Amino acid sequence: MDFKFEIAKAIATAAGLEPTEVVGGIEIPPNTDMGDYAFPCFRLAKTLRKAPPLIAADIAEKIVKPDFISEIKIQGAYVNLFTDKGMFAKEILENVVDEKENYGKCDVGNGKTIVVDYSSPNIAKPFHVGHLRSTVIGNAIYKIHEFLGYNCVGVNHLGDWGTQFGKLIVAYKNWGSKQAVEEKGIEELMRIYVKFHDEAENKPELDDEARGWFVKMQDGDEEALLLWKWFYEISMKEFDRVYKMLGVKFDAFTGESFYNDKMAPVVDELKEKKLLIESEGAMIVDLEEEKMPPCLIIRKDGGTLYATRDITAALYRKNKYNFEKCLYLTALDQNLHFAQWFKVIEKMGYEWSKDLVHVPFGLVSLDTGKLSTRKGNVVLMEELLNQAVNETKKIIEEKNPNLPNKEEVAKQVGIGAVIFNDLYNGRIKDVVFSWERMLSFEGETGPYVQYTNARACSVLKKAGITEVAANVDYTLLADESSAEVCKLLADFSNKIKDAADKYEPSIVSRHLVNIAQAFNKFYHDNPILSSEEDVKNARLVIVYAVKTVLTTGLGLLGINAPEQM
């Protein structure tokens, strides 16, 4: 049952409105003295032409109480509703037991497609912490939408095309060796790439040479393409390792190169629509009216650009997937790039330009100088994840040395900690990368939520059950800490919807921390296994429900939930 909606229906009927006019206004007060649900009447003053306190009084008089509401109190302009704790617990918990891992699911997304463009690192360039964030946030947004019934398409828009490959070819020909690239992979590609930049400072003709090679690539030159393909494969092998560790998969690896042969018609279309103008030998779309610098479409030397490929990719995706929304996960510093080319799509006359959404995020800063001394690259990403696993192993060794399959659990917890750390704050905020904090089993961390889940699993195990019977006496769950857990479980589905609407996984991660905290209080306040049979059975239903919801919630964030740790 959707409690908020049931309450909205009752209030709307009393006020002579539609539930949809009310539901958004229903709040869960921070303090239960003010009810378990509250409806402030201010927002109805305009429609009903009455003072808010009068509206509240009127609603209180006319409302037909839903069964799970025991009491309604008016406080100024607020209608405060108190749930019947036993009845409420019954509604929620029966539902969780019934639906299990599907609890909280809904079908708002049925029939709608969401394209999520995420991770998208650049071949032969650093896979830095920014790409890690894009990967982790994008993956969570994908899973959250999938849970709500959307058809999701995860696209890795690899940076696998562009002048940097011309540079890489020149660099390889001058200072590279096959053996070194094969042995050291991206690290070696990066070394020669950096060398190119150093050398080109004094020898600008190297840049011309590089552009020449890129033009050759565009024209299908065999030698150029063979080298490019090789660099691509070397890089992909390393990216794959990181994706495996993170447990992230994509539906398509259509990177920038995929659009090489698809850009010409788009450029023609821009010309036909009289949007393309020449400027200093290059072709641009002017955005002066929009107070933005022009969007560069074709370089002076004929080369296409990042934006050219993004415009082409958007048209391709609209055509192929007919998306409801197409999301782009990158750091904040690409704001202008997206604003510019979204505008170009709008100017082309596509009303769906409004469905292109840049979902930006903040930077990662480190609490030790350690990572910043060397340039972050894919090798380092792997190192970083491995370090998280190793540090976790040490903690497990200390806390629970007899744990079976320690290796696997350390992976799940260590990597889960890194992911959770990235998802815990609003995405636009900068993330501080602190080993100590993020690996802590206490505080607002991944390991804390996982540990709480494992605690619930262990209680069930000690009770000798894997499933619970839902036919318990729910009036035994009317105490405050049980009620608090139930209330949070009841709000799970709304939080997921909210997270999807705002592209904000932190709404889910924060809710999980709240559930974990409420559960730990419940666990502290209420003896379970030593209680009378009927009390024990009722409390075990809460334990089961918390385990179920935490496992689902962590899963939506891309984090595993080990049963023991």
Q: Give the nearer residue to ligand ARG in terms of CB position, either 39 or 239.
A: 239
Give me the least distance between CB of 157 and ligand ARG, in Å please.
4
Q: Give the nearer residue to ligand ARG in terms of CB position, either 329 or 389.
A: 329
- Of 4, 85, 90, 125, the catalytic one is 125
In whole angstroms, what is the distance from residue 66 CA to residue 87 CA?
11
Beta carbons of 299 and 305 less than 8 angstroms apart = yes
Q: Give the nearer residue to ligand ARG in terms of CB position, either 139 or 330.
A: 330
The alpha carbon dihedral of 388, 394, 395, 400 has a sign of positive
Q: Which amino acid is at 538?
A: A
Residues 294-353 touching ligand ARG, rule: CB under 6 A, are 310, 328, 330
In whole angstroms, what is the distance from residue 338 CA to residue 63 CA?
49
Spatial CB neighbours of 389, under 8 Å, sequence gap ≥ 6 = 410, 411, 414, 415
The piece of 84-92, 117-125, 194-202, 539-547 that touches ligand ARG (CB under 6 A) is 117-125
Q: Give the nearer residue to ligand ARG in terms of CB position, either 118 or 147.
A: 118
Give the total of residues touching ligand ARG (CB under 6 A). 9
Chosen residue from 80, 83, 113, 122 binding ligand ARG by CB under 6 A = 122
Indicate if 125 belongs to the active site: yes
Give me the least distance between CB of 120 and ligand ARG, in Å please.
4
Indicate if 524 belongs to the active site: no
Chosen residue from 80, 120, 548, 552 binding ligand ARG by CB under 6 A = 120
Q: Give the nearer residue to ligand ARG in terms of CB position, either 343 or 536.
A: 343
Give me the least distance between CB of 310 and ligand ARG, in Å please.
5
- CA-closest candidate to residue 45, choices 69, 73, 76: 76
The piece of 114-122, 435-443, 487-495, 528-536 that touches ligand ARG (CB under 6 A) is 114-122
The piece of 62-70, 119-127, 137-145, 408-416 that touches ligand ARG (CB under 6 A) is 119-127
Indicate if 131 belongs to the active site: yes
- Of 4, 85, 90, 128, the catalytic one is 128
Give me the least distance between CB of 213 and ligand ARG, in Å please.
20
Percentages (nearest 5) of helix, strand, coil residues in the chain: 60, 10, 30
In whole angstroms, what is the distance from residue 459 CA to residue 29 CA?
31
Bridge-based pairing state of the strands 364-366 and 276-279:
unpaired
Question: How many angstroms from the chain centroid is the CA of residue 501?
Answer: 12
Spatial CB neighbours of 388, under 8 Å, sequence gap ≥ 6 = 414, 415, 417, 418, 435, 439
Residues 138-167 touching ligand ARG, rule: CB under 6 A, are 157, 159
Give me the least distance between CB of 78 and ligand ARG, in Å please.
46
- Of 4, 131, 411, 497, the catalytic one is 131
Q: Give the nearer residue to ligand ARG in terms of CB position, either 134 or 548.
A: 134
Residues 72-101 touching ligand ARG, rule: CB under 6 A, are none
Q: Give the nearer residue to ligand ARG in terms of CB position, either 340 or 450.
A: 340
**Backbone angles phi and psi of 220, in degrees to 5:** 85, 20
Write a three-state SS string for 321-376. Answer: HCCCEEEEEEEHHHHHHHHHHHHHHHHCCCHHHHHEEEEEECCEEECCCHHHHCCC
Give me the least distance between CB of 252 and ligand ARG, in Å please.
12
Helix ranges restricted to H, 369-505: 370-373, 378-399, 406-423, 435-439, 446-462, 480-490, 492-502
Q: Give yes or no for residue 376 binding ligand ARG (CB under 6 A).
A: no
In whole angstroms, what is the distance from residue 485 CA to residue 257 CA?
50
- Residues with catalytic annotation? 125, 128, 131
Question: Where on the chain is the footprint of ligand ARG (CB under 6 A)?
Answer: 117, 120-122, 157, 159, 310, 328, 330
